[in-house]
Amino acid sequence: MKIDHIAIWTRDLDKVRDFYVRYFGALCSGKYVNPQKKFSSYFLSFEGETTRIELMHNPDIGEGERNGAFAPGLTHLAISVGSRQNVDRLTGQLRTDGYRVLGEPRVTGDGYYESVVEDCEGNRLEITE
């Protein structure tokens, strides 16, 4: 068994797509639109990988209450960028570009080298080596 994809509801589908394409080099599918259901989505993939991210939008989806890392539902998404230097570089770039860094690059208790940032809609991302 394997994970096929992870889905994220978004308020601004194109803005979130652009975030993952720009900072993580995601490859984007064509936009899927179902006018009857007022649903649209993109699938994002990564070179050489099979697990994908599905970004979804429906204008009727409410704002919902977030409570940081402990909100029900998806807690975080971890994206490996290949090295500690890349973790440091990307974390710095995101900070410079105005995104919140929630956890500075560090070795965690379970041995990961990672930082924690928020994407453009407040979703928590772990950037790992």
CATH (domain of 118): 3.10.180.10
94 sits in which H/E element = helix 84-96
- Listed in sequence order, the residues at least 6 apart from 126 whose beta carbon sits closer than 8 Å to its beta carbon are 76, 77, 78, 79, 112, 114, 115, 116
Same domain for 90 and 45: no
Q: Which domain holds residue 8?
A: 1-59
Each of the 129 residues of the chain gets a pLDDT tens digit; together they read 778 889 888 889 999 999 999 999 999 999 999 999 898 999 999 999 999 999 988 888 766 655 554 444 577 899 999 999 999 999 999 999 999 999 999 998 878 899 999 999 988 999 999
38 backbone φψ class: left, alpha, beta (φ>0; ψ -120 to 50): left
| Single pTM value for the model | 0.80
- Listed in sequence order, the residues at least 6 apart from 31 whose beta carbon sits closer than 8 Å to its beta carbon are 13, 40, 41, 42
Report yes or no on 66 lying in a domain: no
Q: What local confidence, expressed as pLDDT, does residue 70 receive?
A: 45
Report yes or no on 64 lying in a domain: no
Q: What local confidence, expressed as pLDDT, does residue 51 receive?
A: 93
Same domain for 90 and 44: no
Same domain for 102 and 54: no
Residues 81, 92 contacting (CB under 8 angstroms) = no
Same domain for 30 and 82: no
Q: What local confidence, expressed as pLDDT, does residue 110 receive?
A: 78
The CA distance from 83 to 129, in Å, is: 4
Q: What local confidence, expressed as pLDDT, does residue 44 receive?
A: 96
Q: What local confidence, expressed as pLDDT, does residue 23 receive?
A: 97
Tokens of 92: 């710095």
